A = this chain, B = another copy of it.
Amino acid sequence: MRSEFDFIQNLKNKYGLSKVGDDCAVLSKDDQTDMVVTADMLVEDIDFRLDWTTPELIGSKALSVSLSDIAAMGANPVFAMISLGVPESCWKTQFVDKFYDGWFTVARHYDVELIGGDLSRTPDKIVIDSTVIGHIAKGKAILRSGAKPGDSIYVTGELGGASAGLMLLESGFRYGKSNQRKKQLISRQLRPTPQVVTGKQLSALGLATAMIDLSDGVSSDLLHICKMSSVGARIYFENIPVNSNLAEFSLNAEQQAGLALSGGEDFELLFTADEKKISQANFQGVTRIGEITASLGIIEVVHHNGVSSLTPKGFRHF
């Protein structure tokens, strides 16, 4: 079966869509400013389950995943729209009110204004489409296409937590009845933190040559950068910053790093940059996990016992 990535690539080629293919489309606003815009669809029982989370957390995550795309451009989020479809049974409950409560909690934190959207009925499942518009200084948006051989590869924060949280939920664990480590992992899955501040710092300082947010997993998302930049990458497996709560599981270090490499929804940033510049700027909170190579589309993973090539195992809808 064709993947959604192949489908979108074909669509780009067929219709000549030059603005499609990054975390956000970049449009010219005025002489000083560019506008970036992104849309994300979240569907009940595909992207969230009502018995795993709360209406407030669904609302907050709906905005956060789009803010993460804005962050991946280095932009400042400004406006948002939310389209929400719910079945009539859900409309009669407090779901929609609580959803917006959660949504506005995040919106206020990032000073994002709701400017529109839609409210619709669905036959039986909840559907959300989240749109966010951001602003960034002219020409400063960080694309996926700017990585060059020799650039170092960095990630923010720790990886694998959201994926482990999903595993816990799938295994029947729930936030309320879990220990502290499990709570933190489940929270990584249900309440992601978009790296808006770090994204803006990286663009303001001109440090990142390419950037993407980690929604599908390092293995999948790094491949997007490699394809768009016509480069390859080498990852040092031992350098991957593994979420410390993964110690909760009976996994060896290799298994933990594997989860961190393939697990999606951490919503951290992955970016490429000149190592010297990052060092000179004393940029905090990021980990160097590898470097960009000239081996087009090939991602090598260096383990303590050798080198293997990486097969993307991140999240795919199709």
Cα of A39 to Cα of B66 in the assembled complex, Å: 15
A261 to nearest B CB, angstroms?
23
Is there an interface contact between B317 and A121, defined as CB atoms closer than 8 Å?
yes
Contact assessment for B27 and A30 in the assembled complex, using a CB-CB cutoff below 8 Å: no
Complex contact B25–A115 (CB within 8 A): yes
Q: How far is the CA of A22 from the CA of B200 in the complex (A)?
A: 32
Q: In the bound complex, what is the Cα–Cα distance between A264 and B121 (angstroms)?
A: 16
- Could you tell me if B41 and A131 are in contact, using CB atoms closer than 8 angstroms? no
- How near does chain B come to A44, taking the closest CB pair, in angstroms? 7
Which residue of chain B has the shortest Cβ distance to A46 in the bound complex? B121
Q: Complex: how many Å from CA A127 to CA B85?
A: 9
Q: Is the CB of B123 within 8 A of A129?
A: no
Q: Does A79 touch B at the CB level, under 8 Å?
A: yes
B129 close to A41 (CB less than 8 A): yes
A170 at the interface (CB under 8 A from B): no
Give residues 91-127 of A contacting B (CB, 8 Å). Answer: 91-92, 96, 100, 104, 113-125, 127
Q: How far is the CB of A141 from chain B (nearest CB, A)?
A: 13
Give A38 to B42 CA distance when docked, in angstroms: 19
- Whether, in the assembled complex, A37 has its beta carbon less than 8 Å from a beta carbon of chain B, the answer is yes
Known contacts A121-B46, A123-B44, A318-B88; is A27 also within 8 Å of B83 by CB?
no
Q: Which chain B residues border A8 with CB–CB below 8 Å? A: 119
Minimum Cβ distance to chain B for residue A15 (Å): 6
Smallest CB separation, A25 vs chain B (Å): 4
**In the bound complex, CA of A38 to CA of B83 (Å):** 10
User: Can you list 8 A-B pairs, Cβ within 8 angstroms, ordered by A?
Assistant: A15-B100, A40-B118, A41-B118, A43-B85, A43-B121, A83-B129, A85-B127, A127-B127
Interface residues of A (CB under 8 A from B): 1, 4, 7-8, 11, 15, 17, 19-20, 24-25, 27, 29-31, 37-47, 79, 81, 83-85, 88, 91-92, 96, 100, 104, 113-125, 127, 129, 131, 133, 317-318
